[in-house]
Structure 1
Amino acid sequence: MTTAEPSGPRAASRIRQSAREVLAERGYADLTVEAVAAKAGVGKSTIYRWWPNREALLADALAEIFKGDEIPDLGDTQAELRLAVDMTIDNYADADLAIAVPALAADLARSPELLASFRETFLLRKRDNIAVALRRGIDRGDLPAALDTGLVQDLWAGTILYRRLLSGSPLDDQLAERLVRLVFDASATLSS
């Protein structure tokens, strides 16, 4: 007698969790569908039923844990932006995630549809939520109307990833404060 392979949301969640575990154990380069299937206790066909390849699976697995929460309206632009920077730092505090994201993005660049899906599930929700907080600061008069909210986020994320992956400089409270302060200082300079 054979038992049916598990399917449905619970199996998909277990597969995504297994993908993250294999990533942590072996690293991005050695993450395979076979290893994830073995870890999850499913056949490769179950994985391929939901994801076309390892890149799509990993993008989905990482998106599940990537924080992209709305930034609450605290009535204080500086406090709201600090929450946004802290969320970005938290997303890259995990070494495996910080290493996997750029490697995954490079692999996905060969497939425009998968790259678009990755951006949609992994990045855009977070960026949209942070842009709302930046626009609230603009509406309050704390930030200039011409502020490029996308560029601000690129500067924050780029700095955090660079420090996490290359320079080894700390991702601490001082960095978060300085990144927020940078927006206010640059805004003051632009407004002068």
Structure 2
Amino acid sequence: MSMKKNLRLTVFAAAAALLFAACKKEKNETPTENANEEITTVKLTFTNAANAADKVVATWKDLTGNPVIEKVTLKANTTYNLSTELFDERKNPADTITHEIEEEADEHRLFHLFFSKANANLQDSLSTVATVTPLDKDGNNLPIGLEVSVATKGAFTGYLRMVVRHQPGNKNGSYGPGSTDVLTEFPLEIK
């Protein structure tokens, strides 16, 4: 066999192997059941527990990599019922991720944390700003955090961080296990 023919056969065999591998790979690709949620928009609605007409709504929206964030202004020494709504607005109509979190409640936990500085480390979270009590629970009696009570304390200027943690198979009520679906920070003033 000539060297030229041998080279052609080798190139043909390599190309066929690559084509076969590529086709085989496509057939085996399936979406993972426990993939992180795609969240572009977070809407927080604070309703004064003593006066339902007193509402504060703030939105965090990131469609381009530059989030647009509204400030949260609350009253000191006041209890609010906080409802968190999550959306993927890259879809038309917008996909309501809140329903997915509710359906997969045993895999998700929302955290509402307070910090004096933006982008602070988790261990710098302040418990002196407000008491956050989850009002919703999953089938294992662990908090979800879509509905919480927020009892503010004294005056404060800083940040409210809302984090959705994705914890399939290892949710235990704490922040640690899993990965982050979305992390948002809202400027916060309590006065």
Q: TM-score, normalised by structure 2?
A: 0.27
**Would you tell me which structure has more helix in proportion to its own residues?**
1
Q: TM-score, normalised by structure 1?
A: 0.27
Which of the two has higher C-alpha Rg?
2
**Would you tell me which structure has more strand in proportion to its own residues?**
2
